[in-house]
Structure 1
Amino acid sequence: MKAPAIAPCLGVKDTGASVGFYEKLGFTAQPAGDDPNDDIRLLLFGGEFALMVYRDAHLRDWLPVLKDSAPGAFGMFYLAVDDFDAYVAKIRPLVNAVKESDHDGRRLFYFTDPDGYIIGVVQKQEW
């Protein structure tokens, strides 16, 4: 698997709960390293790297500059899917939808994860 140019690593309250949430949405999880005491997980979507999740306490220990940061983010992440309609229909009952929109001819579906991160679903496209 090729690593992306930028790899998001989200601080989460409970790594197991976050992994469980994302697995319900079609992601797969795997350990990010060999240390059994480290709970960082890689999340794949469609077999490709999507993001990492890491317990907030461990992330604060790793980067003390984050010690006062709350989980969640000001901003959003986008998830590009092969079939927008089918994927949104599948996850709609599993998520807290916060907005649906059409913008520049593209349909968008936004939801929050258990830690307040906003994910926007979009149809996969070439740039």
Structure 2
Amino acid sequence: MKAPAISPCLGVPDTQAACDFYEKLGFTALPGGDDANDDIRILLFEGEFALMVFRDRHLRDWLPVLKDTPVGAFGMFYLAVDDFDAYVEKIRPLVTVTKDTLEHNGQKIFYFTDPNGYVIGVTQKQTW
């Protein structure tokens, strides 16, 4: 598996709860390393790297500059899927809808918020 050029690592209060949530949406959670004290997990989507989740207190210890940063983010992440309509129909009852499906520049987008306040925008896969 090849990691992308930029790999998001989200601080979360409960790594297992975050993994459970994303697994309901079709992700696969893997251990992030061999250290049992390191609570980082790698999440795959359709077999490819998508993001990492890391217990917030461990992340704040790892990078003290984040010690006062709240969980959640100002911004959003995008998840590109093969079949937009089918995926949105599948996850809609499992998520908190932030902004319902809209079309922008010819592309459908559906926004939801995960249990930790991160906003995810679902889009159709495309080639740049």
Letter in 1 for 2:72: G
Letter in 2 for 1:44: L
* Corresponding position: 1:103 with 2:104: yes
Measure the CA separation in 2 of the matches of 1:105 and 1:18. Answer: 32
Letter in 2 for 1:20: D
- Tell me what 2:13 maps to: 13
Letter in 1 for 2:34: D
| Off by >2 Å, runs of 4+ in structure 1 | none
Displacement, 1:92? 0.1
Displacement, 1:10? 0.3
Question: After superposition, where does 1:81-100 map in structure 2 within 5 Å?
Answer: 81-100=81-100
Percent sequence identity is 76
Q: Deviations over 1:22-76 (max 9, x none)?
A: 0000000001110011110000000000000000000000000000000000000
Name stretches of at least 5 consecutive residues in structure 1 with no aligned partner: none
Q: Normalized against structure 1, the TM-score is what?
A: 0.99
- Tell me what 2:123 maps to: 122
Measure the CA separation in 1 of the matches of 2:62 and 2:98. Answer: 32
Question: After superposition, where does 1:59-78 map in structure 2 within 5 Å?
Answer: 59-78=59-78
Q: Normalized against structure 2, the TM-score is what?
A: 0.98
Q: Deviations over 1:62-106 (max 9, x none)?
A: 000000000000000000000000000000000000102110111
Name stretches of at least 5 consecutive residues in structure 2 with no aligned partner: none
